[in-house]
Structure 1
Amino acid sequence: MLTAQAPTSADQRLLATVAADLPGRRWFPVKGASADLTVHAVVPLVDPRRAADVRVLLVAARTGTGTGTGTAGSGGATSLLQVPLVVVTGDEEAGAPLGDGRTVLDGAAHPAFLRAWLAAAEGPGGAPAAVDLAHVHAITGEQSNSSVVLGAPGDPGRAILKVVRTLHHGENPDVEVPRALVEHGYTGVPAPLAWLRATWPDATTGEVAAGYLGVAAAFVSGARDGFELACELAGTGTPFAAHAHALGEVTARMHAALARAFPTVTDPDGPERLARALLDRYAWARAATSAVEPYHAGVVRAADEVRALRATPARQRVHGDLHLGQVLHGADGWLVLDFEGEPLAPLEARTRPDLAVRDVAGLLRSFDYAAAVGGATGDAAQRWVTAAREALLAGYAQASPPSSVDPADAALLTRALELDKTLYEAVYEARNRPSWLPIPLAGLDRLAG
């Protein structure tokens, strides 16, 4: 585990050189407000070949509006961001000149940073994974983090490195969960190959914090992104039901494995707790966007129905943000990725035991997105979505262990958690992709209209 160091004036100068570019990055967490950026600490990484200067800045992004995702501070919020940079001698078109004959470059996909990262990383046997850095490819569609594919097509040792952009103290579920699942014999996740951890002073309290900076996992060659596949099929009117049924089965087996790998919790106050959480979600969403205001009565009605339940299933570790963009479809079926949970939620909320059906609700919501983004419209879109939903639920039920939960109660729980997820989506789209806001609003019409 590395120990972050105090920044120097040279580090602050590097940040000043790239600061204007950061808010435009998809992973930058402060949306709709300006943020004050300072270098809080620097993680020491060294390129073994000494070909460039690698600087991993831990940047404190402070906003006075509370818009950022981080620790509440005086009058706002603070997010701690990882910004890897590489400084080279000479001019490079892709970088920012420092004015002294050197250029600063984004480090996430730079060979010097990658060599330094792997040299410092840990692995399952105590040593980092051996991967080919002669070929690297940055994934441009990443949102809350930055991912880089390492190795050439066809290379059996190919890997994918995820650079965590917003740092949190504690275990990172996107590393902890796959490691635990693989250790318990589950094969439905890409195997973690290496990870990098560090300590740093907390940006608000000054106490020592520790967490993951990134993880490298096995790359699944020839696999299709689940959302891209669903959009393509929806757009051409091709049924997704068989894929959805198989995905339901994989999700059920994942939940069974998670229940073996992590503790489960019986919750005698489950109905009341879930009802309050749904109302709290609505209040949070209403504070973020007025678009959800017309659905107040429907949310209250759903909360009252949940409150009337006799019990809820035991809570367990879950994925937390499962949707079609978090799964890959390959020759051997579906694989599940990205266990970090909802990006806007604090770490503690993303790792606590929850109802397994929350993941099912996330997948159900994803079908609406696939149909809309894929270009399906009208009755054809509705038939496509309905068939996919029914198949997913059938596959999940078929592969799940016997349950004492009444089917009607299970359906109510699924609908309540789907409503909760749709409220979250409305906030996310209002903040990040306003043109997509009609997708969750259509879901709210169905669930709470």
Structure 2
Amino acid sequence: MTGPGESGDAVAPRDDLIEQVAAALPTWLPTQRWFGGKDRDITAVRPRAWTTLLDGDPLLIHLMVEVEQGDRSEPYQLLIGSRQSQLPDVASVASIGLEDGLTCYEASGDADLTACLLDFIAAGERVDGLAFEREPGVELTGGLRAHPITSEQSNTSLVYGSQYILKLFRKLTPGLNKDLRLHRALRDVGCRHIADPLGSITGELDGEALTIGMLQRFMPDAADGWVMASTSVRDFMADTSGLPPGELGGDFSGEAYRLGKAVATVHADLATALGAEQVDPSELDRTVSDMLERLERVVAEVPVLAEHAPGLRAAFTRITEQGRPLTMQYVHGDLHLGQVLRTINGWLLLDFEGEPAASLAERSALRSTLRDVAGMLRSFDYAAQQLLVGQPDEPEQTARAMSWAEHNRSAFCDGYAHVADEDPRASADLLRALELDKAVYEVGYEHANRPDWLSVPLSSIARIMTEGDNP
């Protein structure tokens, strides 16, 4: 892996180029959708390691940088492209303005350059400190051009032809990425609700191994869960008949039911592959402590949440009264409608990495499966309220939207209960607390990334607080 002091003559000395890129990143990074630090100013960007993947003109460099924001420091990866000839047709936001007449850009949208990533995986190449590997028994077709999926948020995924999808983990974490680990575990037990992993890119930073990317089979004919649900909401809200959601065309509840069954099956497969632990009720004290710590942190960042804080604290502490053992295992960790695909063979779950803003310890911890159920229930609320964002408050429209949400939340729980040993609604206090905790997380996330959407989790918290034990 190359580092400071090495150079190449094709475009510019590498150390000069990397330093100029780093100097431009404090202004450029906050404009990128996948950058997770929009809540604070960047105080410094330091190059940590880089590898020349393609030398000459054009040039492709894999760059790892440390982004400092006050007392927070996090590593990110970028693909830096540079050409002396005509620039490729990439989005203007990819361009990184530099001194001395050099023009560099974030190259994930350059199909001519990113083709090499698949080729390296197919060939099992090692380029300096980066290892490109196929999964055991997998054969890959190289020579395919890639295009990025523009809707993704915290990472960048490149689709090669109609066959493969390569996810690049933008914010890097030490060790084997949870997403890759859980996909491998689920594949090994024959789980039907994932796209099998086909390959990976791994590297090293400060002597610790880390996962750069994961290759999977692409499903070109699959439908996005969020798009399906959103379409159903729009059709329902546009209808003037006044009929309830279950009596209109485009009703989503059948799919919500099947999705609930799929999620419960994945949870069972994860328990088979990686085990589950029955913990003492006192373990709930740690869960509550984590919830309260998150609440205090988000209240400090988003003062408008303070009016709900007393009720939230009471909802969180109430779960310690349940007095029965709690089963903990690996779960998805950030489950919502944007993380599922509907194929002709059923629902697939994607992106087992966990919440983008959570710490590595939080994403790696064993959890109750109800955390994923709560995440999906929150997502039905999001889908229902999307048309209300930025609009004047209209109680009738709000009530209609929430009737859609409740109809599909119930169908999802029905499907989950059909497969699982217990209906998630039987643990009403815990499910409610987990849903509220997820909404608190969303308040912090929306404040940092999409302030216009802050009303969605805030209104949901107000609603859940008044609904008592109804999930």
TM-score (norm 2): 0.83
- List structure 1 runs of 4+ shifted beyond 4 angstroms: 93-102
1:187 aligns with 2:186: no
Task: Specify the SS of the correspondent of 2:209.
Answer: strand
- Of 399, 412, 415, the match for 1:379: 399
* Aligned partner (choices 17, 31, 36) of residue 43 of structure 2: 36
Kindly report which structure 2 residues correspond to 1:170-249, keeping only aligned pairs within 5 A, or say none: 170-201=175-206, 208-237=207-236, 238-249=250-261
Q: Which runs of 5+ in 1 are unaligned?
A: 65-75, 202-207
2:240 paired residue number = none
Q: Which moved more, 1:11-20 or 1:224-233?
A: 11-20
Give deviations 1:187-236, integer Å, cap 9, x for gaps. 211111111000112xxxxxx22201111111111111111110110111
Once the two structures are TM-superposed, the CA of residue 289 in structure 1 deviates from its matched residue by 0.7
Matched, 1:429 2:435: no
The farther-off stretch of 263-272 and 227-236 is: 263-272
Would the alpha carbon gap of residues 133 and 109 (structure 1) be closer, same or farther in structure 2, given more than 3 Å must change? farther
Q: 1:112 aligns to what? A: 113
Residue in 1 aligned with 2:103?
Answer: 103
Alpha-carbon deviations, 1:130-166, whole Å to 9, x = none? 34523x2211112111111111xxx4xx111111111
d(CA) in 2 for partners of 1:131, 1:90:
26
Give 1:6 deviation, angstroms: 4.0
Note if 1:332 corresponds to 2:345.
yes
Q: Distance in 2 between matches of 1:172 and 1:429?
A: 25
Question: Is the Cα–Cα contact under 8 Å of residues 297 and 448 in structure 1 kept in the other structure?
Answer: no
Following TM superposition, by how much is the alpha carbon of 1:108 offset from its aligned partner in structure 2, in angstroms? 1.6
CA contact (8 A) 1:60 1:78 kept: yes
Identify which range, 410-419 or 122-131, moves more after superposition: 122-131
Measure, in 2, the Cα distance between the counterparts of 1:300 and 1:103: 52
CA contact (8 A) 2:68 2:74 kept: yes
Q: Tell me the CA shift for residue 377 of structure 1.
A: 2.5
**Shift in Å at residue 312 of structure 1?**
4.1
Indicate the larger mover: 327-336 or 26-35: 26-35
1:52 to 35, 58, 80: 58
Which of 135, 141, 148 is the aligned partner of 1:138? 148
Q: Is the 8 A contact 1:129 1:194 kept in 2?
A: no
User: Structure 2, unaligned stretches of length 5 or more?
Assistant: 6-14, 126-131, 237-249, 389-395, 467-471
Q: Is the 8 A contact 2:26 2:45 kept in 1?
A: no
Deviation, structure 1 residue 20: 3.0
Say yes or no: does 1:393 pair with 2:413: yes
**Who is 2:267 aligned against?**
255
**Pair 1:361–1:102, CA change in 2 (3 A):** same
Aligned to 2:243: none
Question: Residue in 1 aligned with 2:303?
Answer: 290
The residue type paired with residue 386 of structure 1 is E
**Residue of structure 2 equivalent to 1:149:** 159
The change in CA–CA distance for 1:385 and 1:438 in structure 2 (over 3 A counts) is same
* Distance (whole Å) between structure 1 residues aligned to residue 290 and residue 166 of structure 2: 35
Change (3 A) 1:330 1:117: closer
| In structure 2, distance between residues paired with 1:433 and 1:13 | 30
Distance in 2 between residues matched to 1:277 and 1:85, nearest whole Å: 38
Kept after mapping to 1: 8 A contact 2:165/2:217 = yes
1:354 and 1:221 map into 2 onto residues whose CA distance is: 32
Aligned length: 420
* Change beyond 3 A, Cα 1:212–1:199: same
Equivalent of 1:265, from 273, 277, 289?
Answer: 277
Check 1:347–1:130 CA distance in 2 against 1; reply closer, same or farther (3 A cut).
Answer: farther
Alignment equivalent of 1:80, drawn from 68, 75, 79: 75
Would you say the 8 A contact 2:118–2:142 is kept in 1?
A: no
User: C-alpha displacement at 1:116, in angstroms?
Assistant: 4.3
User: Identity percentage over the alignment?
Assistant: 31
Does the CA contact (< 8 Å) of 1:198 and 1:211 recur in 2? yes
AA aligned opposite 1:92: L
Could you tell me which residue of structure 2 aligns to residue 69 of structure 1?
none
Distance 1:163 1:368 in 2: 29
Distance 1:145 1:164 in 2: 5
Inter-partner Cα distance in structure 2 for 1:283 and 1:311: 27
Could you tell me which residue of structure 1 aligns to residue 174 of structure 2? 169
Match of 1:67 in 2: none
SS at match of 1:56: strand
Q: Check conservation: 1:44, 1:55, Cα contact below 8 A.
A: yes
Secondary structure class of the residue paired with 1:236: helix
Change (3 A) 1:292 1:131: farther
Aligned residue identity for 1:106: E
Inter-CA distance 25–9: structure 2 relative to 1 (3 Å threshold): same
More deviation, 104-113/418-427: 104-113
Q: How far off its partner does 1:56 sit?
A: 1.2
Question: Structure 1 304/342 Cα, relative in aligned 2: closer, same or farther at 3 Å?
Answer: same
User: What is the CA-CA distance between 1:253 and the residue it aligns to?
Assistant: 0.1
Distance in structure 2 (CA, Å) of the matches to 1:326 and 1:429: 18
Matched, 1:309 2:322: yes
Letter in 1 for 2:419: A
C-alpha distance after superposition, 1:412-433 (max 9, x if no partner): 2111110110110111111111
- Output the amino acid matched with 2:440: L
Tell me the SS of whatever aligns to 2:77: strand
1:22 matched to 2:29? The reply is yes
How far apart are residue 9 of structure 1 and its match? 2.9
The Cα offsets for residues 308-336 of structure 1, whole Å up to 9 and x where unpaired, read as 11124310000000000100112222110
CA distance in 1, matches of 2:266, 2:2: 36
Cα shift at 1:240: 1.5
Cα RMSD (Å):
2.3
Q: Which is worse superposed, 18-27 or 184-193?
A: 18-27
Q: Contact 1:128–1:194 (CA<8 Å) still a contact in 2?
A: no
The CA deviation at 1:444 is 0.6
Which residue is 2:247 aligned to? Answer: none
Give yes or no for the alignment of 1:129 onto 2:129. Answer: no
Distance across 1 between alignment mates of 2:201 and 2:311: 45
The 8 Å contact of residues 341 and 350 in structure 1, kept in 2 or not, is answered as: yes
SS in 2 for 1:348: helix
Contact 1:196/1:214 (8 A) holds in 2 = yes
Equivalent pair of 1:90/1:103 in contact (CA under 8 Å): no
Change (3 A) 1:127 1:104: farther
Determine the structure 2 residue equivalent to 1:72. Answer: none
